[in-house]
């Protein structure tokens, strides 16, 4: 007996989902988006079974997780086999190999993976070794880079869906207080972790006199730290502080991760959606998402970025218009967590 499209739609209105993911702000948002869609979500952090999470993370980064998967299977099996789920949703998946997927098969009929990172690239050393071995055993892989689609199939994937990274529906503009304006009086803002290519880039902006503010982790590792230190305002910020800082900045930079082969990031959506002005690298995906110099501002190298920032800082009207139109376009694009997750679930149940 076949299931009609109407029955499938009804089924997708309330699924029992086992969600395996390390904790994080974006993970938390995706779990809550699934719940807003009406699904019953049981979330488990695979790292919670290890007494020294940071140490385990370093082992995985340099050697992969193959040697510790059996321990995770031993610890997690008695917990998840007590229930029954419609779907297992693995977010990331560096700790999940074929042996763990066998356990998931016992409690759910479908197993899907969503990965915001670039597990087929070279940036993260051996972190994704176990994930790559598990690729053929998932019913669906959701990836966020065009290049990952062919790579996933080359590793034996059954079905691959490409989606954009997304902004959460609840991360729109915040109410701004006078205290907020004093805390975040920034002109050109970058929020993000230090990466080797980012230090020289931001160093050049500062040398050119661009009034830069930086929030993020690991910036003390930058060889350019002696100069960048004066622009650094502290480690990563999240939640309302993150959104308010972007909302109040005159310009927000959207830097990409070269090691992750990014053509867009979550900031591509977060910045315009909360009312900021996106000033990002010119890529095929950015050009697809926002009209250049109308809804966002783009550059191809540091020299052009400096010129664009200086022009924007000298034209209040232009900044306000671009930010406003960028926000409207972002909403119109509809690239939100709920829409992304609905698309992923529909793809999983169209198998």
Q: Are residues 291 and 324 both part of a single domain?
A: yes
pLDDT band per the 50, 70, 90 thresholds, residue 1:
very low
- Residues above pLDDT 70, as percent of the chain: 97
SS3 content of the chain, % helix, strand, coil (to 5): 45, 15, 35
Please tell me which residue, 60 or 119, carries the higher pLDDT value.
119
Would residue 284 count as lying in a domain?
yes
In angstroms, how far is CA 340 from the centroid of its own chain?
12
Alpha carbon 161 to chain centroid, angstroms: 16
121: tokens are: 């690239």
Q: Which of 116, 153, 112 is nearest to 264 (CA)?
A: 116
3-state SS class at 324: helix
Q: Alpha-carbon distance 68 to 127, whole Å?
A: 12
Non-local (6+) Cβ contacts of 88 within 8 A are 17, 18, 20, 104, 107, 108, 110, 111, 112
Q: Is residue 172 one of the residues assigned to a domain?
A: no
What does the pLDDT read at residue 191? 98
In eight-state DSSP terms, residue 155 is: T
Q: Please tell me the predicted confidence (pLDDT) of residue 8.
A: 54
Lowest-pLDDT range of 67-76, 93-102, 154-163, 208-217 = 67-76
Q: How many domains does the chain fold into?
A: 2
pLDDT band at residue 304 under the 50/70/90 scheme: very high
Arithmetic mean of pLDDT over the chain: 93
Question: How are strands ordered across the β-sheet holding 85-91?
Answer: 40-44, 16-20, 85-91, 108-114, 140-143, 160-162
**pLDDT band (50, 70, 90) for residue 66:** confident
User: Domain range holding 130?
Assistant: 5-166+336-348
Query: What whole-number distance in Å separates Cα of residue 84 and Cα of residue 105?
Result: 10
CATH assignment of the domain containing 207: 3.40.50.2000
Q: Is the same domain home to 184 and 311?
A: yes
Query: What is the arithmetic mean of pLDDT over 71-89?
Result: 92
Report the pLDDT averaged over residues 282-289.
98
Higher pLDDT, residue 121 or 12: 121
Tell me: do 137 and 262 sit in the same domain: no
Encode pLDDT of 233-258 as tens digits: 999 999 999 999 999 999 999 999 98
Q: Are residues 206 and 112 in the same domain?
A: no
The answer to whether residue 277 is domain-embedded is yes
- Whether residue 34 contacts residue 40, with contact meaning beta carbons closer than 8 Å, is answered with no
pLDDT on residue 6? 47
- State the pLDDT at residue 54: 78
* pTM (predicted TM-score): 0.92
Of residues 329 and 71, more confidence is placed in 329
Instruction: Tell me how far apart the alpha carbons of residues 317 and 315 are, in angstroms, rounded to a whole number.
Output: 6
Same domain, 39 and 160: yes
Report the distance separating Cα 139 and Cα 81, nearest Å.
20
Whether 304 is covered by a domain: the verdict is yes
Round to whole Å and give the CA distance between 266 and 184.
21
Task: Tell me what pLDDT residue 11 has.
Answer: 64
Whether residue 4 is predicted with pLDDT greater than 60 in this model: the reply is: no
Q: How confident is the model at residue 28 (pLDDT cuts 50, 70, 90)?
A: very high
Asked if the model's pLDDT at residue 351 lies above 80, the reply is no
């Amino acid at each position: 007996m076949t299931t009609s499209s109407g029955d499938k739609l009804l089924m997708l209105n309330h699924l029992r989902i086992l969600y395996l993911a390390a904790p994080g702000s974006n993970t938390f948002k995706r779990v809550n988006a699934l719940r807003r869609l009406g699904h019953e979500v049981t979330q488990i952090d695979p790292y919670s079974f290890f007494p020294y999470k940071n140490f385990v993370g370093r082992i995985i980064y340099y050697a992969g997780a193959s040697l510790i998967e059996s321990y995770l299977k031993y610890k997690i099996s008695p917990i998840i086999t007590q229930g029954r789920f419609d779907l297992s949703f693995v977010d990331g998946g560096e700790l999940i190999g074929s042996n763990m997927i066998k356990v998931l098969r016992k409690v759910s009929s479908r197993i899907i993976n969503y990965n915001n990172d670039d597990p087929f690239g070279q940036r993260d050393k051996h972190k994704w070794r176990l994930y790559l071995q598990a690729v053929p055993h998932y019913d669906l892989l959701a990836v966020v880079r065009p290049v990952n689609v062919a790579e996933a199939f080359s590793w034996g994937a059954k079905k691959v869906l490409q989606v954009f990274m997304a902004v959460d529906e609840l991360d729109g503009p915040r109410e701004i207080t006078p205290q907020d304006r004093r805390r975040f009086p920034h002109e050109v803002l970058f929020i993000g972790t230090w990466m080797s290519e980012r230090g020289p880039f931001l160093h050049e902006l500062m040398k050119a006199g661009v009034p830069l503010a930086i929030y993020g982790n690991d910036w003390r590792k930058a060889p350019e730290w002696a100069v960048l230190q004066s622009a650094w305002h502290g480690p990563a910020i999240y939640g309302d502080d993150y959104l308010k800082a972007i909302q109040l900045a005159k310009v927000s930079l959207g830097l990409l991760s070269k090691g992750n082969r990014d053509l867009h990031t979550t900031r591509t959506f977060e910045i315009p959606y909360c009312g900021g002005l996106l000033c990002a690298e010119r890529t095929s995906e950015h050009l697809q998402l926002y009209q250049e110099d109308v809804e966002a501002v783009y550059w191809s190298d540091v020299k052009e970025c400096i010129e664009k920032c200086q022009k924007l800082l000298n034209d209040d009207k232009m900044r306000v218009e671009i930010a406003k139109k960028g926000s409207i376009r972002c909403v119109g694009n509809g690239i939100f967590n709920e829409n992304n997750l609905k698309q992923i679930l529909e793809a999983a149940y169209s198998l």
